[in-house]
Amino acid sequence: MTSTEIKALTGQYVMNTYGRFPVAIDHGVGAKLYDPEGREYIDFTSGIGVTDLGYGNEKWVDAITVQAKKLGHVSNLFYTESPAKLAEILCKRTGMSNVFFANGGGEANEGMIKLARKYSFDKYGKGRSTIISLNNSFHGRTMATLTATGQERFHNYFFPFVEGFRFADANSMESLKEVTAAGDVCGVMLELVQGEGGVLPLEKAYVKSVAELCEKNDLLLLIDEVQSGVGRTGSMFTFQQYDILPDVCSFAKGIAGGLPMSGIMANEKCRNVLTPGTHATTFGANPVCAAAGLVVQEILSDEFLQGVQEKGKYLCEQIEALHLPCFGKTRGMGLMIGIEMAEGYSNSDVADKLVAAGLLVLTAGPGMRLLPPLVITKEEMDAGLAIMKKTLA
Ligand SMILES: *Cc1c(COP(=O)(O)O)cnc(C)c1O
């Protein structure tokens, strides 16, 4: 099909819930994507932080193919090898204790919320079920995670929202103490780098203090690493750069390099909170997705993750060196990069221009967001930078 035909068919038969760029994608290689007519795009998006190995990675394709031929799905009523192995690797690389696998980020966060409420119920009984999240956060599109998302613009249409959520300001212990004072709180849920909110890393001292407050009051520290996890910021999980061990940590986007998979990891204190019958998902721990996840873990060695930090630094420095009139400062960690807009420029206008010129980028909050494949080469980064220079100078 041609691009025009694909767009027309989508418009007719797929619900119109996405603001799409006017581009159809057919295939990809490394960090390059191609439309059906063969036009090339440099990818600084990874399908919103998902395709950390880029496109067409041979090891990934082979592992998926082999596993699909053996067994595509059997459900969690039986034992399978690849999810067990993936859970082991995740725990050994992070110090967490065990894993529950799900399918998407919002669903993983639902599990994290349920775990926190059950932990508190088991120990203290009713009345201690409130979850604190941060203003400007993003936690998903399900009813509970939408409620937990601390941005007013998401709290529309779908009333009534879920009970038992309150918000604190990022980087303010005063605000957190105020909203936890009533004694009805069971957990504090944070993104260490607010992604959708604009790529805003939390302050290290603040996160340390949050962890201490949680420990002191037996509140669970719930870290949402759906976007920041799995090598994106240059460590397997971002909490490792904050010197904390969460009680529960969710992950999703990059975990299987492009197949739908997510999950939560619990520390030793929380490993037995969810018991048979209290949580489940039919598609969870899919053996094909887990086989893909094993390849991601193999490629994302500690040495490779060091390279992610260096690539991120290079990209930020080179963007700043272009002195583009539309951009302010760059910030971020590893290959999770935010760019502020200069006064009078709109992030969506700039994104439209770049995509039209052959460079795929994202927006977040009021700024730009770059999430290139973690395997991106210097040559591919330079090709993207050249498009930025040509289009925006
Ligand atoms: C993307 C994202 C989610 C939602 O994940 P879905 O897979 O779209 O449900 C939740 N939290 C964070 C931090 C995210 O970036």
Across the chain, what does the average pLDDT equal?
98
The band of 366, judged by pLDDT with boundaries at 50, 70 and 90, is: very high
**Mean per-residue pLDDT, 354-372:** 98
Cα of 139 to ligand 1 centre, how many Å? 6
pLDDT band at 209 (very low <50, low <70, confident <90, very high): very high
Is the distance from the beta carbon of residue 43 to the nearest atom of ligand 1 less than 6 Å?
no
42 closest CA partner among 14, 15, 23, 59: 23
Q: How far apart are CA 215 and CA 163, in angstroms?
A: 24
State how far the alpha carbon of 99 is from the alpha carbons of 162, 187, 247, 301, 358, in Å.
26, 19, 12, 20, 39
CB of residue 104 inside a 6 A radius of ligand 1: yes
**What was the pLDDT predicted at 353?**
98
Residues 6+ apart with CB under 8 A from 258: 47, 50, 51, 53, 60, 292
User: CA 354, CA 207: separation in Å to the nearest integer?
Assistant: 35
Q: Which of ligand 1's atoms lies nearest the C-alpha of 191?
A: 13
- Model confidence at 198, in pLDDT bands (50, 70, 90)? very high
Task: Give pLDDT, residue 133.
Answer: 98
Q: What is the predicted pLDDT for the residue at 68?
A: 98
For ligand 1, whether the C-beta of 247 sits within 6 Å is no
Q: CATH no. for residue 64?
A: 3.40.640.10
Examine residue 393 and state whether it is found in any structural domain, yes or no.
Answer: no
| Residue-wise pLDDT tens digits, 43-64 | 999 999 999 999 999 999 999 9
**Ligand 1: centre distance to CA 270 (Å):** 23
Identify whether 217 is part of a domain: yes
Number of domains in the chain: 1
Q: Are strands 193-194 and 185-190 parallel, antiparallel or unpaired?
A: unpaired
> How confident is the model at residue 370, as a pLDDT?
98
DSSP-derived secondary structure letter, 165: E
Examine residue 114 and state whether it is found in any structural domain, yes or no: yes
Identify the pLDDT of residue 84.
Answer: 98
Rounded distance between C-alpha atoms, residue 222 and residue 250, angstroms: 8
> Is 322 part of any domain?
no
Asked if the structure places residue 341 within a domain, the reply is: no
Task: State how far the Cα of 127 lies from the Cα of 142, in Å rounded to an integer.
Answer: 23
Query: Is 363 a member of any domain?
Result: no
Is 184 in contact with 121 (CB distance < 8 Å)?
no
Residue 336 counted as domain residue: no
Pairing of strands 327-333, 336-341: antiparallel
pLDDT band at residue 24 using 50, 70 and 90 as cut-offs = very high
By residue range, what is the domain housing residue 146? 59-299
pLDDT, tens digit (0-9, with 9 covering 90-100), for 279-328? 999 999 999 999 999 999 999 999 999 999 999 999 999 999 999 999 99
- Residue 337 in domain: no
